[in-house]
Structure 1
């Protein structure tokens, strides 16, 4: 440093001044490098605006991006719900069709089974009717006899003819009228047979041992049955006298 005439340098002051200058210079340098709080705030806001502007599409305000995204999301959700509803409806319709088809098949199967059963029943009835008709054709016609003395004698003589038992209508009727008067329930309670405990009964007054011995198969086992009584008595008379026609008294 050049010396100034008339100026006396104080070394201590000089040192302090140099140090102060150095300190002041350093502070000034720091002030130039670090902006004030207001400048810093402006700078931060500017930077934020630049970042926001860089992330926002050109010509579209940043504040409108989120509402549009929310609207799009709502629309997508509505479309998805509509698709799900349509799919559910289609599935329900398909299930209804499947159930209807199964019910229709079951009804057809039941109807076919019923028709088959009815057809089988008709065939069985037709077969039975045919068999009955065949048996009726093979079986001789059964005579109808009146339920009186005349009818009883006629029916008895037809049975006797099958078993080769002789006896005329008149001979049988004559002996019936003498023995019982034509009463099939007539019973003798006073003769020797009654005294022996075997009273004579029926149209031709037979006793039980005789009736059982000369009974003809196919007739009643009841001794007072008019037809059975006539046939058994005529069978006994044929064995003892050759025919009921040869009997004119107690036999």
Structure 2
């Protein structure tokens, strides 16, 4: 059988016993102190000052009249503030309305600018046929604008007798031809007569159909009253 040696029990010294007793006593004292100490809420409530009663300017408690006067003053202040706020609101509303009106006027002025009246479109120039009928009609319009009398029939009749409607016809046998100034054109006009009675706005060419007709009609109007009154050589 093995030989085991049992450990010897530890011995507590007197000093250790005293230390343990001191620690235990200290813990108990701390616990008792914590339990007996009042909470923060209780301490605050215990030390809170008593409610302060309102007093007048001389330090005496307010009377019923003082409270009534204070109430009236409060009402007056409130009424004054309310009135000022109302005036401010009205002024602001008026300012906003004025700004809106100004913007409306500006928009209206921009939206409806005055435009210069459009010029009437120019009428297209009248067109005439490049033949005897067209030459007579164009000549009549010029004669009317210049105040020269004459009719389609009077012009046509004299033209057919003088040149048969040929704008380049030349008379090389009469007295004018003998004198070196032959008659030319639709109404057989000599150069000096053409130069004297030429109508402004027409070509300065003796054999031009329009210039020849209007110059002859102008000469006939001065000498016979109208080309319509001419029924033979003139």
TM-score (norm 1): 0.45
Whose helix fraction is larger, Structure 1's or Structure 2's?
A: 1
